[in-house]
């Protein structure tokens, strides 16, 4: 299987804090890969590194055959990204923001149809004329999901995409992601919610204090530790409480 994300010896520090420590990671095409870890384990830093939003101290990365360090703009052009925090411009309406995103990504054909599809799928068309700054956090998150997939990328790198969303919408997006991967695309999903990974991911990586403690199939982990939660707790040094 073709590798769409690969990192070698990836390290990033913030002052004295080592956020990401010497990570070697590979994600194959068609995977729904979940990067798991406790709060502050380095998940969002890894997402920002892979999308060229920040630079590593050492190491190299390739995403969709592009060198992230040499050409981060090319990577961001190919990939759909949901950032850690939803930050649409305050004074554009929801619809205007999606049109703006389409223009930045130089989409010409079928923009209106694509936007209509996302308003319909995520059920937020009634807010299309509302300023982004006045949208609820959940609706802003829907907007972030829509902009990430508007250009139909082969790879999506998404950071906590289900945060602030109600269970119905979480189900919709989980179904969308599963279907999206079934069509040969790849998802790199960062989350600390194990149930999401357990439900939809085919493989996972587990980060703890910036280091990658495990990478592989989710079924292998379950076989070794009876559950993903048990495996996760064991890998981050917090054994599950005896029943």
Partner 1 sequence: MALYTLFAAMLKEEWRVHSALFGHLGFALLPFTLVFFAALGALMLPVFTRHIDTGTLVAIAHLAFGLMGMTIGAFGLLGREALNRRFGQASMIAYASRTFPVSNRTIMTAFFAKETLYYFCFWVLPPIIGFGIASVVLGIPRALTPLFLVSLGLSFLFGLSAVFLLSTVYAHSRRALLVLMGLLALGTAAALGATGTPVEALFPPLAFFHDRSAASLLISLLASGAMAAAGIWFVQVEYTGAARHYPNAFRPLTATLSRLRTPHFVAKDLLDLKRSEGGLGKILFSFLFPIGIIWLLLEVLLFILPGLNALAVFAILLAAFSTTIYNWLTEFDDFAPYAFFPVTPGDVIRAKLQTYLMLTIIPVATLVIAAAGFGQMDRLLPSLLAFAGLSSYAVAVVVYCAGLQPNILLYNTRTLLSFIGLVAPAMLALIFISLPDPRLVAAGIVLVLPAALLVDRGERRWSQVEQRLF
Binders of partner 1 in range 144-183 (CB under 8 A): 148
Q: Which is nearer to partner 1, 129 or 175 (CB)?
A: 129
Stretch that binds partner 1, among 84-92, 169-177, 185-193, 199-207 (CB under 8 A): 84-92
**With binding defined as CB under 8 A, does residue 85 bind partner 1?**
yes
- The least CB distance from residue 140 to partner 1, in Å, is 11
39-69 burial, b at 16+ Cβ within 10 Å, e below that, comes to eebbbbbbbbbbbbbeebeebebbbbebebe
Q: Which is nearer to partner 1, 135 or 204 (CB)?
A: 135
**With binding defined as CB under 8 A, does residue 220 bind partner 1?**
no
CB 50 within 8 A of CB 42: no
Q: Which is nearer to partner 1, 92 or 240 (CB)?
A: 92
C-alpha span between 228 and 223 (Å, rounded) = 9
**With binding defined as CB under 8 A, does residue 100 bind partner 1?**
yes
Which of 22, 99, 202, 215 is close enough to bind partner 1 by CB under 8 A? Answer: 99
Phi and psi based region of residue 226 (left: phi greater than 0; alpha: psi -120 to 50; beta: remaining): left
Three-state SS annotation for 4-48: EEEEEEEEEEECCEEEEEEEEEEEECCCEEEEECCCCCCHHHHHH
- The least CB distance from residue 131 to partner 1, in Å, is 5
Which of 43, 76, 208, 213 is close enough to bind partner 1 by CB under 8 A? Answer: 76
Instruction: Give me the phi and psi of 219, to 5 degrees please.
Output: -70, -35
Stretch that binds partner 1, among 100-108, 166-174, 190-198, 226-234 (CB under 8 A): 100-108
Binders of partner 1 in range 6-65 (CB under 8 A): 48, 51, 53-55
**With binding defined as CB under 8 A, does residue 87 bind partner 1?**
yes
Crossing angle of helices 167-182/137-149, nearest 10°?
Answer: 10
CB 37 within 8 A of CB 192: yes
List of residues contacting partner 1 (CB under 8 A): 48, 51, 53-55, 73-74, 76-77, 81-85, 87-93, 95-96, 99-101, 103-105, 129-131, 133-135, 148
């Amino acid at each position: 299987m073709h590798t769409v994300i690969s990192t070698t010896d990836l390290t990033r520090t913030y002052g004295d804090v080592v956020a990401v420590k010497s990570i070697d990671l590979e994600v194959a095409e068609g995977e729904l890969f979940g990067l798991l870890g406790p709060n502050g384990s380095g998940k969002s830093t890894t997402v920002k590194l892979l999308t060229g939003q920040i630079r590593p101290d050492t190491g190299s990365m390739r995403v969709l055959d592009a060198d992230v360090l040499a050409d981060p703009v090319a990577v961001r052009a190919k990939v759909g990204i949901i950032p850690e925090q939803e930050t649409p411009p305050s004074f554009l309406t929801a619809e205007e923001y999606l049109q703006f995103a389409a223009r930045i990504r130089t989409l010409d054909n079928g923009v209106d149809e694509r936007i209509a599809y996302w308003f319909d799928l995520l059920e937020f068309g009634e807010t299309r004329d509302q300023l982004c700054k006045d949208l609820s956090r959940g609706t802003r998150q829907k907007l972030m999901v829509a902009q990430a997939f508007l250009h139909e990328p082969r790879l999506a790198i998404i950071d906590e995409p289900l945060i602030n969303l109600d269970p119905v919408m979480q189900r919709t997006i989980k179904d969308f992601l599963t279907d999206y991967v079934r069509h040969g695309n790849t998802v790199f999903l960062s989350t600390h919610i194990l149930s999401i990974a357990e439900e939809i991911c085919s493989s996972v990586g587990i980060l703890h204090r910036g280091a990658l403690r495990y990478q592989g199939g989710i079924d292998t982990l379950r076989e070794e530790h009876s559950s993903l939660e048990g495996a996760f707790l064991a890998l981050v040094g917090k054994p599950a409480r005896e029943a």
